Chain A
Amino acid sequence: MLTCKETAQLISESLDRSLTLRERLGLRLHLWRCDMCSRYASQLKFLQGACADADPEKLLEGVELSDSARERIRDRLAQER
């Protein structure tokens, strides 16, 4: 029987690779009787979905190039044209 710790690792790995048949069965069996790991599985899926939808504009609200950086880049680009 998988422990919760092993299950949590497999839940994460299932987001990165195809699990083997044996791993899938072990995982399903554990999730069937463990509410905590079932919650963990749906929470990691939620997190992955949220990150995939995340817009850097919203993650970094108000982050802008400073005036000095903007000037420096402008000068550097002008040399190139």
Chain B
Amino acid sequence: MLQPTNTTKLDPTTWLDSYGDILFRYAMARVHDQATAEDLVQEALLAGIISVDTFKGGSTERTWLVGILRHKILDYFRKTSREQRSDWSADDGDFDSEGSWAVTLTEWRTPEKLAEQDEFWPILGGCVDTLPESLRTLFTLRELDGLETDVLLETLNISSKNNLWVMLSRARKLVRNCLQTHWFERE
């Protein structure tokens, strides 16, 4: 049964049931902590209730709520990134002392229609999960959300662009190595 849709009038009483899990997964993919993700979902829904009159109807209810949650997540990172963490090292065993590859990179047989490879996505998610926290946050905001350098520097309190690029390079290599082991060399 289709209800007549009225995009300018929202019904907050249905939000938790309709979008609770979607919002929770969105938050979990970024903050990776259950209690924090739950709090952020609650904050986003509360903010939605308060600003329900500002909804312009230009987007769907779901998109609008995800947008609010996205802001809450960035606020959370701004607050918690004041301290620099050194939970990762730029050194790795992938290069020898002369800067040549110490490992062999084999060709990847990448599937043509990746979106249809259902088993691939949890593995990619698992590989991102294995990153040290500071790299994981940076990698997620850059690659999943496409945030630009300046926003990342300010949000995550990273000291310099150079440092940011080194961290991203390290994160990408770690995820690449993990995919190599768990997807491309499986079986």
A interface, CB within 8 angstroms of B = 3-6, 8-9, 12-13, 15-17, 36-37, 39-40, 42-44, 46-61, 63-66, 69-70, 72-74, 76-77, 80-81
Contact = CB atoms under 8 A, between A and B. Distances in A.
Given A46-B110, A80-B50, A60 B172 contact: no
The B interface, classified by DSSP as helix, strand, loop or mixed, is helix
A60 B125 CA distance: 7
B99 interface: yes
A16 B158 CA distance: 15
Interface of B: 12-13, 15-16, 20-22, 24-26, 28-29, 34, 38, 41-42, 45-46, 49-50, 95, 98-101, 104-108, 110, 114-115, 118, 120-122, 124-125, 128, 142-144, 146, 149, 161, 164-166, 168-169, 172-173, 175-176, 179
A47 B42 contact: no
28 contacts: A5-B99, A16-B142, A16-B149, A36-B101, A39-B105, A39-B107, A39-B108, A40-B105, A43-B108, A47-B176, A50-B114, A51-B124, A51-B144, A53-B114, A53-B115, A56-B26, A58-B121, A58-B125, A59-B125, A59-B128, A60-B29, A61-B121, A63-B21, A64-B21, A65-B41, A70-B16, A77-B49, A80-B49
Contact of A77 (B28, B45, B118, B146): B45
Given A39-B106, A63-B24, A73 B176 contact: no
A5 B24 contact: no
